[in-house]
A and B are shown apart, each in its own frame.
Chain A
Amino acid sequence: MNAPRTLLLVGGTSDIGRATALCYAQAGWRVLLAARRDDEARRNADDIAARTGADVAVLHLDILETSGFEALVDGLPQLPDTVVCVVGELGDQQRGQKDLAHATQILRTNFEGPALLLGVFAERFAARGSGTLVGVSSVAGDRGRGSNYLYGAAKAGFTAFLSGLRNRLAPAGLRVVTVKPGFVRTQMTAGMKLPPVLTAEAEEVGRAIFTAAEKGSSDVVYVRPVWRPVMMIIGSIPERIFKRLRL
């Protein structure tokens, strides 16, 4: 039997991250959960290990501490086969409009941090000649809306980054997958009223990520396919009308 492959899941305390890591562990992968809150990440690591018997470890990582990324990646006991980054923060749009520190945090958490980290792995993967990178972006990045454009703009940046990276690495046979989950019932959306048809469970997103990254060949994944036409329609509304909609 081959040695088990290794997943690095960045955002190991998130509900989507937990579900994704569980899918990998069930398929026999070793898992490393990176998170800024070690104790909470440990809960998920223990759970996944107990359920699957897989080897699951925790790594301390703050996505805003970008200057440490290269040392962190080079300090890993071994370079993972796949890196999935699910880190993100919806933030508070209205607060961010006045509070630049908060706006900066939203932009950096959703764009700068994830992009720089995946960028470091892209270099290592390119040098090795193998590896898969998965970024969880959002349909919110497909078109800016008044109610969440700080988050949306950061996700749009991340989506563009992933697209560019894919374009660059594809000739070398490396995969880059962009995941747009649509609405997902997680702690990020706790208490919000979400339309059931458009809303996925975290487990669904986890399975979709695993399938797309390890079995399929999709580059951009909308977890629930209805989101593709929905976003096409939203994208095709002329700006002069769109700007008047309360979205």
Chain B
Amino acid sequence: MTELSGWGRYPRHPSDVLSPPSPSAVPPLMTSHTGLVARGNGRAYGDAAIGEQVTLVTRRLDRIRAFDPSTGRIRVEAGLLLADLLDVMVPKGFFPPVVPGTKFVTVGGMIASDVHGKNHHRDGGFGDHVESLTLASPDGGIATCSSTENGDLFRATIGGMGLTGTILEATFRMRPVETGWMRQQTIVATDLDKALDALRASGEATYSVAWIDCLAKGRSLGRSLIFAAEHATRRDLEALQPAADAFPSARSGRLSVPLDLPAFALNRLSVGAFNEMYFRAGAMKAGYPFLVHWNPYFFPLDGIGDWNRIYGRRGFLQYQCVIPTAQAGPALSRILERIAQRGLASFLAVLKQMGPSQGDLSFPMEGFTLALDLPVSDAAFPLLDELDRTVVEAGGRLYLAKDARQSPATFEAGYSGLPRFRDLRRAIGATGRISSRLSARLGI
């Protein structure tokens, strides 16, 4: 038995851990154990990647099986790290179709959470780019799934949090890029409405994200910096930074944090100071396009190492909700107001625009998603329960990959695909056998 937790280090549960050396070793494990779930790199925040009894770590399934540079089509094993994929592919002029905010995730984890990037409004989630996958199913077999073959199982597996079986391999297409640079433009929004407008208006941009200053109150509530970006072309590079290498190494792209993290992360005053500084530094760059390396643009936190430890032993919670477009303004301002009032400092507060998704349990829906961190404390739980009510009333839902504490009622209210998902689980013999701490907690 090993004690496991997610990236938030809350909750922790004991589990047996298996680490099969190859895809062919997985199917027998699906029938010889019960209460098991797959785990990629453990970047889900809460209890999604902890088996009720057994956790099947996929990290040794890390081979690229085929790559066709003429189409960008790639077939990989599910335990391949996104960081590894980027290292290999960016110098060849290819970028993954969708990336989340950290590159230390596996391809299997990206499919199982149907992860969204800063381009969800335009390109959908990672799952939308998966052409086909193979799944070690609960009966010990291997199912090939795509939109045309085993379509129901495919739609349940995308965003299905490992609860339909273990993904072994996936095929998807990389997008060609001319350089490893991003052409970024910063937009300043002085309040929430302006931020939402700016995100809508920047819908033309491939990537956009708003960084909200959670501590701003009153008329400044929701003041944000919006970072819109495109993959820079050769011409962009010539115009903006003619001497630069088209594919600079990832290591040159570290973010230097000009403050001592542990100190500012923990109290309200210092987070306020950081936010103020960040906001001003961003505002100074506003208006002008400039080039930034893909690594800090997409993965600013990865440069900081084990930043999840700065919240101390009790760990932390990430709260990520999505609110349908029509309700987004009022619901998000209610949420931001409560957070600001309570002063439960958040290091990260990110706002993005989303489009629809296809998986039964996929998180994205047309609307806006807000994500923020809070240290675990006795005060945090009732506050989040209260925010949940706002989310549910607005017709929104919470992201399972981030969740460690929502109630079954909140979950059921948000996910209309749940009955279909449960039926499918029953039909393939997954119910009660493929189960994580998350699925047990939420009765999936």
Contacts and interface: CB of A to CB of B under 8 A. Distances in A.
A44 B60 CA distance: 12
A50 B21 contact: no
Contacts of A44: 63
20 contacts: A39-B24, A40-B22, A43-B22, A43-B63, A43-B65, A46-B63, A46-B64, A46-B65, A46-B66, A47-B63, A47-B64, A47-B65, A50-B64, A50-B65, A50-B66, A50-B67, A50-B74, A51-B88, A187-B21, A190-B19
Given A43-B63, A46-B66, A190-B19, 14 more contacts: A43-B22, A43-B65, A43-B77, A44-B63, A46-B63, A47-B63, A47-B64, A47-B65, A50-B64, A50-B66, A50-B67, A50-B74, A51-B88, A187-B21
A39 B88 CA distance: 23
A51 B24 contact: no
Contacts of B64: 46-47, 50-51
Interface in A178-193: 187, 190
A47 B24 CA distance: 16
Contacts of B67: 50
Interface residue tally of chain A, by bracket? Answer: 10 to 19
Interface string A37-58: 0011001101100110000000
Interface of A: 39-40, 43-44, 46-47, 50-51, 187, 190
Contacts of B65: 43, 46-47, 50
Contacts, number: 24
A35 to B, nearest CB: 13
Nearest to B88: A51
A174 to B, nearest CB: 34
A43 B64 CA distance: 8
A20 to B, nearest CB: 16
Contacts of A51: 64, 88
Interface in B63-80: 63-67, 74, 77
In this complex, the interface size class of chain B, counting residues with CB under 8 Å from chain A, is: 10 to 19
A190 B74 CA distance: 30
Interface in B84-140: 88
Nearest first, the 9 closest Cβ-Cβ pairs linking A and B are A47-B63, A50-B64, A50-B67, A46-B65, A43-B63, A47-B64, A51-B88, A187-B21, A40-B22
Nearest to A191: B19
Contacts of A47: 63-65
A40 B19 CA distance: 16
B212 to A, nearest CB: 39
Contacts of A40: 22
Interface string B326-341: 0000000000000000
A27 to B, nearest CB: 16
Interface in B202-260: none
A187 B74 CA distance: 27
A40 B22 CA distance: 8
Nearest to A52: B88
Interface in B1-51: 19, 21-22, 24
A184 to B, nearest CB: 15
Contacts of B24: 39
A46 B74 CA distance: 11
A40 B20 CA distance: 13
A39 to B, nearest CB: 7
Nearest to B67: A50
B261 to A, nearest CB: 25
Identify the interface centre among B64, B66, B74, B88: most chain A CB within 10 Å of its CB: B64
A187 B59 CA distance: 13
B1 to A, nearest CB: 14
Interface centre among B19, B24, B63, B74 (most CB of A within 10 A): B63
A51 B24 CA distance: 22
Chain B CB count within 10 A is highest, among A43, A44, A46, for A43
A40 B24 CA distance: 9
